[in-house]
Amino acid sequence: MQKVAVVTDSIACLTREFTEQYDIDIIPINFYVDGKFYRDWVDITPSEAYELFLKDPDSFKTSAPSPDECLQTFRKVSQRAESILCITVSTKLSATYESALEAKELIQTEQPNLTIEILDSKSATPSEGMIALAAARAAQENKDLTEVLNTAVKIMEKVYAYLYLDTLKHVYRSGRIPKIASQIGSVLNIKPILSVNEVVHFNTVVRNRKQGLERILQTMREKTEGKPIRVAVMHAYAPEEAEIIKERVAAEFNCIELWLTEFSPVMGYACGTGTAGVAFYVDNDEEK
């Protein structure tokens, strides 16, 4: 039995290869399209979800996992681990953290010797995934729960995520701007650059994809200063754009890890298809 198992949610956008390699269990976020229920990354791939979204955007609804859904995951993981670290999407973006806390209380009445920590990542998208990934790597090194938790917190403090939106048409669903403002922005062909830090922030606007990519890459240069970095490239139904970003990042930065993933449709329903971006952090350990 391993000392620590890591659990996260599907908004972390971790690839199946990573979840299998590092034994990371995923709590799927729920969404509905035309009244039909889906579990993110379980019942449907992100690409398939975006195809449904494009057919009928207004029927797309999301909901956090219930405490019982989190409980089922904890029960499963407890069969192979002495303790669990559950890393969730920011509490300011989802109720997943609260559901996980309730599930923790429930399972500890069943298994009082099981230790569980619930960590609010204060993030989302692959920046959340990178926190979970670093924690899972520490767990595979047989570190105890305190050490695994400390690893996660250390990455939390230095990970960044930036997104380019191809359209403002759907962003009113985030609650950040009124519907009429998003419609006007769409007509004016304004393309926003967003960052993720507890909530989604509007950083600036550009006129086209090329400008958006250049702005994101310039921000990466300023944040990383040529140091070794770990990078994830994400996209919402824009694989060609993501490959271009990945190639640019590989050529221009000192990457010790670079991976590609699809943007969770649970967040993509507000950002729209065509969204692309990066999550990254400087890995100081690689400088030594």
CATH of the domain at 89: 3.40.50.10440
Amino acid at 214: E
Q: Note whether 105 and 224 are same-domain residues.
A: no
Q: Note whether 11 and 151 are same-domain residues.
A: yes
Percentage of the chain lying above the pLDDT 90 cut:
75
Q: What is the DSSP string of 153-208?
A: HHHHTT-EEEEE-S-STTGGGGTSS-HHHHHHHHHTT-EEEEEEESEEEEEEEESS
The answer to whether position 42 is within a domain reads no
Q: Note whether 200 and 245 are same-domain residues.
A: yes
Is the pLDDT reported for residue 176 higher than 50?
no
Q: Note whether 135 and 252 are same-domain residues.
A: no
Q: What is the pLDDT of residue 169?
A: 64
Is the pLDDT reported for residue 75 higher than 80?
yes
Using the 3D structure, point to which of 111, 136, 156 is the last residue of a domain. Answer: 156
Q: What is the DSSP string of 121-159?
A: -S--HHHHHHHHHHHHHHHHTT--HHHHHHHHHHHHTT-
Using the 3D structure, point to which of 128, 156, 184 is the last residue of a domain. Answer: 156
Q: Note whether 245 and 260 are same-domain residues.
A: yes
Greater confidence (218 vs 171) lies with: 218
Using the 3D structure, point to which of 156, 171, 205 is the last residue of a domain. Answer: 156
Spatial CA neighbour of 262 closest among 49, 96, 20:
49
Number of structural domains the chain divides into: 2
Q: Note whether 110 and 189 are same-domain residues.
A: no
Q: Residue 124 half-sphere exposure, CB side, CA atoms within 13 Å?
A: 26
Q: How many CB atoms lie within 10 A of CB 284?
A: 11
Q: What is the pLDDT of residue 167?
A: 73
Is the pLDDT reported for residue 105 higher than 70?
yes
Q: At what angle do helices 145-156 and 125-140 cross, to 10 degrees?
A: 150
Mean pLDDT along residues 110-133: 97
Mean pLDDT along residues 202-231: 94
pLDDT in tens, 223-238: 999 999 999 999 999 9
**Poorest-confidence range of 4-13, 90-99, 223-232, 264-273?**
264-273
Is the pLDDT reported for residue 22 higher than 90?
yes
Q: What is the pLDDT of residue 158?
A: 97
Q: Residue 128 half-sphere exposure, CB side, CA atoms within 13 Å?
A: 30
Q: Note whether 173 and 280 are same-domain residues.
A: yes
Q: What is the pLDDT of residue 144?
A: 98
Q: Note whether 99 and 219 are same-domain residues.
A: no
Q: Note whether 123 and 184 are same-domain residues.
A: no
* Residue 181 confidence class, pLDDT cut points 50, 70, 90: very low
Is the pLDDT reported for residue 189 higher than 80?
no
Q: Note whether 25 and 72 are same-domain residues.
A: yes
Q: Note whether 216 and 180 are same-domain residues.
A: yes
If phi over 0 gives left and psi between -120 and 50 gives alpha, with beta otherwise, what is residue 125? left
The answer to whether position 41 is within a domain reads no
CA distance 56 to 50: 10
The answer to whether position 137 is within a domain reads yes
Domain containing 127: what range?
2-29+64-156
